[in-house]
Amino acid sequence: MELKEVREGLARILVPKAERIYDAPVFYNPLMALNRDISVLALKALGSRRVLDALSATGIRGIRYALETPAGEIWLNDINPNAFRLIVDNVKLNFSGELEIEGKMAVLEGEKTLVVTNADANRLMNEQFRYFDFVDLDPFGSPMEFLDSALRAVKRRGVLAITATDTGVLCGAYRNACLRKYLAEPIRGELCHEAGLRILIGTLVRYAAKYDLGVEVLLAYYRDHYFRAFLQLRNGAKTADKSMKQLGYLYQDESGKFEFENTFLPSKATAHGPLWLGPLKNQEFVEELHRLSAEHPLGSKKTQKFLGLLKDELEVPFFYDTHAVARRHGLEVRKLAGVIEILYEKGYKATRTHFSPTALKTDAPFEEVLEALREL
């Protein structure tokens, strides 16, 4: 395998040289740097000690956790033997000390403990029952095949960090796959990304509830064709019931107007879901990540800007995309800032949203948004 060295955060990482990322013998995607940056900041804010990077590839994520956060014991795992060897080399590149290799496991004991394994993630997570404070799942496509094991490997008050790159499935381009994997009816059109993220969280909540675990969403977002969610688990049947009560359904009519209902079963056949209707962020947590991003060594401006957008976003389910509403009503497209200002002047809250550069989140009724578009 031909390699080159890259730098990200405080890590130096050897990655395969390849024309296209999916041709490489070990996976590495530089575009996911922002995903890893935010994960590093989240782990820093949480202060979790025992961490599992269950699908590690080059090891870049786990190595950054070890270098840039207070985590004391970091496990890096991949089923691919080439990945295992590369992770071992990358650990050696970033840490001094003796790395003891025995078969499919390598351990470095030092100021930090690093454990590198070459195992099926499901097997490893089932063996390490309730061992980790923080479990990171960053798979190709859907995380669903790893979810049950992750919910067993993580402590009952631990945190799950989950990526899903199967946005086509969650956004309704492949409806049957969404029914199969997420047991939910997706929606097409302008709301598909937020609905997709909420379907993902809704499924995670239902899986966690089986173990009498409730879920608080610390932060969940959509970016660059993937979804990412940081979920704080809460112990007990009552907290699981509380989380289940935040599930529900979305309806959207031809005018673009949407409504949602908090129920276990939908009242109409046109329902999309079940999906999570609770918050997509804990405001204090996001403010802390934003603050940390400014002081983090080598922190990227892109990450800081994105966290700023998430921090300022109004916490209400769904949004109005001004282009989509204008198109549906034969209106001219207007500047988003102008529409937000009009709603503000009328006493409503309104902000931009990270889901779309042409959309706004507001507590104003749909008719007021339409009126504001007409007024301009």
25 three-state secondary structure: coil
- In the complex, the smallest distance separating the C-beta of residue 147 from ligand SAM, rounded to whole angstroms, is 13
CB contact at 8 A, 359 and 320:
yes
CB of 294 to ligand SAM, least distance (A): 23
Q: Closest CB to ligand SAM among 231 and 343? A: 231
- Three-state secondary structure call for residue 131: coil
Which of 84/182 has CB closer to ligand SAM? Answer: 84
Return the number of the residue (16 or 248) whose C-beta is nearest ligand SAM: 16
C-alpha 83/C-alpha 89 separation (Å) is 10
Count CA atoms within 13 Å of residue 96 on its CB side.
0
Q: Residue 212 CB, nearest distance to ligand SAM (Å)?
A: 27
Residue number with CB closer to ligand SAM (74 or 340)? 74
What gap in Å lies between CA 281 and CA 285, rounded to an integer?
A: 8
Question: Whole-number minimum distance, CB 64 to ligand SAM, in Å?
Answer: 9
For 335, the 3-state DSSP assignment is coil
Contact (CB, 8 A) for 68 and 33: no
Amino acid at 369: V
Q: What strands, in cross-sheet order, belong to the sheet with 154-164?
A: 99-102, 105-109, 113-117, 73-77, 50-53, 132-137, 154-164, 226-235, 213-223
Q: Which is nearer to ligand SAM, 137 or 240 (CB)?
A: 137
Q: Which two tokens stand for residue 375?
A: 């007024």
Closest contact distance (angstroms) between CB of 58 and ligand SAM is 6
Q: Rounded to an integer, what distance in angstroms lies between the CA atom of residue 45 and that of residue 288?
A: 7
DSSP-based three-state secondary structure for 236: coil
Q: Which two tokens stand for residue 128?
A: 């390490």
Residue 308 CA: distances (Å) to CA of 17, 292, 300, 303, 365: 34, 12, 13, 9, 26
Q: How far is the CB of 117 from ligand SAM (least distance, A)?
A: 9
Binding residues for ligand SAM, rule: CB under 6 A, are: 27-28, 32, 36, 55-58, 60-61, 77-80, 83, 120-121, 138-140
| DSSP string of 212-233, one letter each residue | TEEEEEEEEEEETTEEEEEEEE
Task: With CA atoms as reference, report the closest residue to 219 among 234, 233, 229, 208.
Answer: 229
What are the b/e assignments for 308-329, b being 16+ CB within 10 Å? eebbebeeebbbbbbbbbbebe
* Distance of closest approach, residue 161 Cβ to ligand SAM, in angstroms: 10
